């Protein structure tokens, strides 16, 4: 009997030994396991506590709290989530939070949420990501003021049912990244107070819509390097956009409202990507302000007759190296204007905006009065996307091929609407155009 | 060597190499730019001048065995080339990470000891993806984890924490709150619910309505996601507006104006910060009198009421530092509401805290 028992014991020992040596993940130091768990939601991380003894308490020291109210908690809405968050905040022992992410529905009066934010701030949180979905009873969550004096906050992201209410002086000495997406503002002062309190802000993302209670967006931030502004399409409500950012390097702007532009200082701009639905006179100040940029892309759907007298001749786009024009219904003449003032342009990208595919057959294009300097000395690559085999488009290509002296490549791609035989005809036509540059290659697909 | 011989020396021979030694004693040489991609090796070379020859080979940490070193060097060799696009790098990473979990863990550990953060992130994410969405049994199976927790520990891993008095109280509150919510659902259509409007909530509502009215024109054309919600808000505010107008006339008129009891709910919600604590107080009161019973007496013993007040304050102090201020609000608020309650109800009860459950 005894020997049998022994061998059984031995077997068990071997098994457990085998298991121990092949359990590589538990052998990792706590720090690494925290790192792995930090890529999971806190709910999933908490679930690892029943894996084995080693995992019982590891999740409580993960420096990231990712708390999301998933649809699976709907049997007893929000009570489960509230209980869950309260539990997590009590059990998680981290004194220094890297990230606190909270996404939930505002079913009850949000007084309890204040405690959660207080907790996060008291743990020196570095990144805060809050998305609230308001309900009929509680459409918006006003954030407690403690958030706006958080000394350790580097990244703040607010979206949806949040109301930005800033009654006092803000002090966010570490904040580098700020995202305000679709939120509501108590008044214009709240925003300006917030910006005034961000002494080192580098990146700002602003998604705005008409019902958010502001009449003007004043972005005057001396340290700002990157700006993404997006205005939701709404009615004809006037809204003023003012930008005073002397060290701004990149600007991405989407204007679906009737914006009034006041770009006071964007002199350091390197890259600008602008998308508008209606290109009109009010965009001329915007265009002027982009004169220092190296890369500009302009994307529009509809085009209204513009008074270019206000635009030239003083401002030359001396730094412009690459220009992209995504043209919608019309407005191809802007190309001629821009070629004339961009003396050092090297890369030109023209595209027919997909939104207006099949429209604008009746458009026309007027070549520049004199051959622009960039065609003679710098333009080397031209791309034409969504080519439609229309007269004016052909004349544009012909003009460029003829006059560009240092052109290396012209790459034309049609938008797939053209049948194969007309594509072949088109290619033949293109190949027949005289070329001003011997080295110029023609690509077509 | 003659001049001709010198000229024949291939360029590869002019490359510099770093000598590395793994814990098992084996030494190998690696191209400098590849090895220097690891911060730990970089540090050894620059700060300590190690790695220039076989005798001065850099001793790598124990967690880096030859197999892992080979993998890590493959990673470094690809990524140290500056010209690669993000797409290329991502594609390489995705293929690189395909290995069994045992090796993934070893690689994580080795990369961590060499301070190669991008690789640590890559492997950690891969391990996280493996863990995500799986049941505990599946995870134990994959990683060969020992099933060494007792049944009790498994069932209620957080049980020890319920000894915390805050958690216990919270649990009780939540249970009561859940009951109350259910009962409120049943009583949603009762008129009196809607009539409990007082000055404070009217102010709240008015400012809310005024804030929103300016936007009503822009809203129609909105294609934003919030469109539907905004419309609902509009409906709600207009009906609440009417509710307020009729409030002072006749209580019955309210019924006709309000489309649904939901407005009443919202009107009550306009009460603001007070309603939540209000409910909590009620729950504590319930707790004290009939622990497992949801019924509440109509009459309150004043002495008991005092005791409850004290308990509530104590609880509030423990949980949240600004609750005492809230208490102030409620207490002063409660005084305002009494007369309204009287005139509408015709009920002679001296209830200080109006509660739906009593009806």
Q: For residue A108, give how far its alpha carbon lies from the nearest alpha carbon of chain B (Å).
A: 8
List of chain A residues whose C-beta atoms are within 8 Å of the C-beta of residue B158:
49, 87, 91
Which residue among B102, B128, B262 places its CB closest to the CB of A22? Answer: B102
Which has more pLDDT, B238 or A423? A423
Domain boundaries defined on chain B: 17-143, 149-195
Task: Compute the average pLDDT of residues A249-258.
Answer: 89
Token output for A21: 């040596």
Residue B333 has pLDDT above 80, yes or no: no
**A140-170 pLDDT per residue, tens:** 889 999 899 999 999 999 998 899 999 989 9
Which has more pLDDT, A263 or A309? A263
- Residue A437's pLDDT is 84
Q: Decide if B210 touches A, using CB distance below 8 A.
A: no
**A29-66 pLDDT per residue, tens:** 999 999 999 999 998 898 888 888 888 889 999 999 99
Judged by CB atoms closer than 8 Å, whether chains meet at B266 and A137 is answered as yes
* Band (B156; pLDDT cuts 50, 70, 90): low
Interface of A with B in 204-263 (CB under 8 A): 209-211, 213, 232-235, 237
* Band (B136; pLDDT cuts 50, 70, 90): confident
Residue A441 has pLDDT above 80, yes or no: yes
Judged by CB atoms closer than 8 Å, whether chains meet at B109 and A50 is answered as no
CA–CA distance, B54 with B18 (Å, rounded to integer): 9
By three-state DSSP, how is residue B140 classified? helix
Q: At what angle do helices B165-186 and A79-91 cross, to 10 degrees?
A: 170
Interface of A with B in 74-133 (CB under 8 A): 76, 79, 82-83, 86-87, 90-91, 108-109, 111-112, 114-115
Q: For residue B326, give how far its alpha carbon lies from the nearest alpha carbon of chain A (Å).
A: 10
Token output for B78: 């690809």
- Residue B141's pLDDT is 87
In whole angstroms, how far apart are CA A94 and each of A69, A116, A118, A120, B350?
22, 14, 14, 10, 49
Residue A106 has pLDDT above 80, yes or no: yes
Q: For residue B55, give how far its alpha carbon lies from the nearest alpha carbon of chain A (Å).
A: 32
pTM for the model: 0.68
* CA-based nearest residue in chain B for residue A47: B136
Which has more pLDDT, A42 or B289? A42
By three-state DSSP, how is residue A440 classified? coil
Which residue among B102, B121, B224 places its CB closest to the CB of A209? Answer: B224
**What's the farthest any 2 CA atoms get from each other in chain B?**
120
Least confident of A272-286, B1-15, B143-157, B278-292: B278-292
What rounded mean pLDDT belongs to chain B? Answer: 64
Which has more pLDDT, A390 or B250? A390
- Residue A114's pLDDT is 87
ipTM over 0.85: no
Which residue among B108, B144, B319 places its CB closest to the CB of A28? Answer: B108
The superfamily CATH assigns to domain B17-143 is: Potassium Channel Kv1.1; Chain A (3.30.710.10)
Task: Compute the average pLDDT of residues B258-283.
Answer: 39
List of chain B residues whose C-beta atoms are within 8 Å of the C-beta of residue A211:
212, 215, 218-219, 222, 226, 230
Q: Decide if B230 touches A, using CB distance below 8 A.
A: yes
Query: Which residues, 6 or more positions from A225, have their beta carbon under 8 angstroms from its beta carbon?
Result: A202, A203, A247, A248, A249, A250
* CA-based nearest residue in chain B for residue A207: B224
Least confident of A113-117, A373-377, B88-92, B164-168: B164-168
- Residue B304's pLDDT is 62
Which has more pLDDT, B298 or A421? A421
- Residue B312's pLDDT is 59
- Residue B2's pLDDT is 53
CA–CA distance, A270 with A319 (Å, rounded to integer): 9
- Residue B174's pLDDT is 57
Judged by CB atoms closer than 8 Å, whether chains meet at B145 and A111 is answered as no
List of chain B residues whose C-beta atoms are within 8 Å of the C-beta of residue A36:
108, 124, 127-128, 131
- Residue A235's pLDDT is 60
By three-state DSSP, how is residue A345 classified? coil
By three-state DSSP, how is residue B354 classified? coil
- Residue B358's pLDDT is 41
**B16-52 pLDDT per residue, tens:** 888 999 988 889 989 988 988 999 988 988 988 888 8
Task: Compute the average pLDDT of residues B273-299.
Answer: 40
Residue A296 has pLDDT above 90, yes or no: yes
Residue of B104, B135, B106 lying closest to B122 (CA atoms): B104
Residue B300 has pLDDT above 70, yes or no: no
Task: Compute the average pLDDT of residues A137-142.
Answer: 87
By three-state DSSP, how is residue A225 classified? coil
Percentage of chain A modeled with pLDDT above 90:
38
Judged by CB atoms closer than 8 Å, whether chains meet at A111 and B125 is answered as no
Top residue of A12, A13, A16, A36 to mutate, by most chain B CBs within 10 Å, is: A36
Q: Sheet holding B27-31: strands in order across?
A: B27-31, B17-21, B58-59
Task: Compute the average pLDDT of residues B274-293.
Answer: 41
Which residue among A51, A210, A233 places its CB closest to the CB of B140? Answer: A51
Judged by CB atoms closer than 8 Å, whether chains meet at B215 and A211 is answered as yes
SS (H, E, C) A64-83: EEEEECCHHHCCCCCHHHHH
Q: Decide if B149 touches A, using CB distance below 8 A.
A: yes
Which residue among A35, A54, A234 places its CB closest to the CB of B218? Answer: A234
Residue A104 has pLDDT above 90, yes or no: no
Token output for B35: 């090895």
Residue of A432, A436, A427 lying closest to A408 (CA atoms): A436
Residue B329 has pLDDT above 80, yes or no: no
DSSP secondary structure letters along B38-62 = SHHHHHHHHHH---SSSTTPEEPPT
Interface of B with A in 105-144 (CB under 8 A): 105-106, 108-109, 112, 120-121, 124-125, 127-129, 131-133, 136, 139-140, 143-144
**A360-389 pLDDT per residue, tens:** 777 888 888 889 999 999 999 999 998 888
* Band (B306; pLDDT cuts 50, 70, 90): low
What rounded mean pLDDT belongs to chain A? Answer: 86
Q: Decide if B287 touches A, using CB distance below 8 A.
A: no
Residue A204 has pLDDT above 80, yes or no: yes
* Residue A201 contacts residue A248 (beta carbons within 8 Å): no
Q: Decide if A70 touches B, using CB distance below 8 A.
A: no
Task: Compute the average pLDDT of residues A271-298.
Answer: 90
Judged by CB atoms closer than 8 Å, whether chains meet at B276 and A26 is answered as no
């Amino acid at each position: 009997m005894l020997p049998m028992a022994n061998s059984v014991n031995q077997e068990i020992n071997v098994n457990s030994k085998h298991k121990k040596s092949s359990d590589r993940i538990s052998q990792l130091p706590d720090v690494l396991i925290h790192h792995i768990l930090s890529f999971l939601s806190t709910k999933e991380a908490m679930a690892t506590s029943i894996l084995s003894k080693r995992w019982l308490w590891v999740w409580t020291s993960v420096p990231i709290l990712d708390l999301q109210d998933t649809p699976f908690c709907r049997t007893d809405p929000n009570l489960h989530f509230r209980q869950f968050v309260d539990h997590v905040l009590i059990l998680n022992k981290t004194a220094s939070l890297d990230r606190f992410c909270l996404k939930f529905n505002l079913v009850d009066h949000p007084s309890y949420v204040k405690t959660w934010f207080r907790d996060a701030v008291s743990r020196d949180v570095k990144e805060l990501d809050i998305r609230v979905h308001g309900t009929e009873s509680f459409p918006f969550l006003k954030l407690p003021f403690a958030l706006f004096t958080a000394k350790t906050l580097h990244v703040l992201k607010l979206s949806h049912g949040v109301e930005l209410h800033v009654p006092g002086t803000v002090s966010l000495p570490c904040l580098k990244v700020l995202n305000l997406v679709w939120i509501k503002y108590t008044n214009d002062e709240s925003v300006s107070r917030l910006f005034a309190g961000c002494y080192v802000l580098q990146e700002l993302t602003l998604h705005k819509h008409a019902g958010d209670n502001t009449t003007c967006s004043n972005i005057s931030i001396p340290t700002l390097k990157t700006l993404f502004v997006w205005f939701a399409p709404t009615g004809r409500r006037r809204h003023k956009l003012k930008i005073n950012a002397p060290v701004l390097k990149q600007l991405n702007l989407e204007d679906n409202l009737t914006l009034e532009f006041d770009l006071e200082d964007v002199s350091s701009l390197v890259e600008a990507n602008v998308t508008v639905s209606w290109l009109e006179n009010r965009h001329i100040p915007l265009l002027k302000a982009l004169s220092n940029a190296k890369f500009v892309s302009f994307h529009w759907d509809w085009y209204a007759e513009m008074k270019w007298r206000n635009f030239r001749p003083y401002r030359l786009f001396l730094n412009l190296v690459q220009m992209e024009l995504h043209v919608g219904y019309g407005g191809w003449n802007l190309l001629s204007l821009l070629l004339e003032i961009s003396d050092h342009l090297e890369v030109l990208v023209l595209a027919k905006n997909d939104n207006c595919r099949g429209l604008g057959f009746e458009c026309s294009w007027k070549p520049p009065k004199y051959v622009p300097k960039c065609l003679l000395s710098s333009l080397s690559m031209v791309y034409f996307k969504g080519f439609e085999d229309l007269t004016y488009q052909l004349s544009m290509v012909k003009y460029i091929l003829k006059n560009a002296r240092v052109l290396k490549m012209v790459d034309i791609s049609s938008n797939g609407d053209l049948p194969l035989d007309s594509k072949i005809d088109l290619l033949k036509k293109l190949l027949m155009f005289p070329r001003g540059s011997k080295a110029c290659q023609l690509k077509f697909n | 060597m003659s001049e001709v011989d010198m000229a024949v020396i291939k360029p590869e021979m002019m490359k510099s190499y770093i000598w590395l030694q793994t814990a098992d004693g084996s030494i190998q040489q690696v191209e400098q730019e590849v090895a220097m991609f690891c911060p730990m090796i970089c540090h050894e070379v620059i700060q300590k001048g190690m790695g220039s020859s076989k005798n001065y080979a850099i001793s790598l940490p124990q967690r880096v065995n030859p197999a892992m070193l080979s993998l890590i060097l493959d990673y470094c060799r690809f990524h140290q080339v500056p010209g690669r696009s993000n797409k290329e790098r991502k594609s390489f990473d995705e293929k690189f990470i395909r290995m069994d979990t045992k090796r993934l863990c070893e690689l994580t550990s080795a990369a961590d000891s060499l301070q190669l953060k991008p690789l640590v992130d890559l492997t950690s994410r891969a391990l996280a993806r493996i863990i995500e969405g799986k049941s505990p049994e599946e995870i134990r199976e994959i990683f060969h984890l020992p099933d060494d927790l007792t049944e009790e520990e498994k069932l209620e891993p957080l049980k020890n924490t319920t000894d915390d008095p805050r958690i216990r109280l919270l649990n009780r509150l939540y249970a009561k709150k859940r009951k109350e919510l259910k009962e409120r659902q049943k009583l949603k259509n009762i008129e009196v619910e809607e009539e409990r409007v007082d000055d404070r909530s009217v102010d709240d509502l008015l400012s809310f309505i005024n804030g929103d009215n300016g936007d009503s024109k822009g809203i129609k054309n909105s294609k934003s996601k919030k469109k539907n919600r905004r419309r609902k808000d509009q409906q709600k505010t207009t009906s609440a507006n009417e509710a307020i107008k009729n409030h002072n006339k006749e209580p019955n008129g309210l019924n006709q104006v309000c489309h649904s009891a939901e407005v009443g709910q919202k009107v009550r919600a306009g009460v603001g910060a007070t309603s939540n604590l209000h409910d909590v107080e009620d729950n504590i009161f319930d707790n004290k009198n009939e622990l497992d019973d949801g019924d509440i007496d109509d009459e309150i013993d004043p002495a008991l009421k005092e005791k409850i007040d004290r308990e509530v304050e104590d609880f509030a102090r423990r949980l949240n530092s600004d609750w005492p201020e809230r208490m102030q609000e409620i207490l002063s608020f409660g005084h305002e509401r009494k007369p309204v309650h009287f005139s509408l109800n015709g009920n002679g009860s001296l209830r200080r805290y109006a509660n739906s459950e009593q009806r």
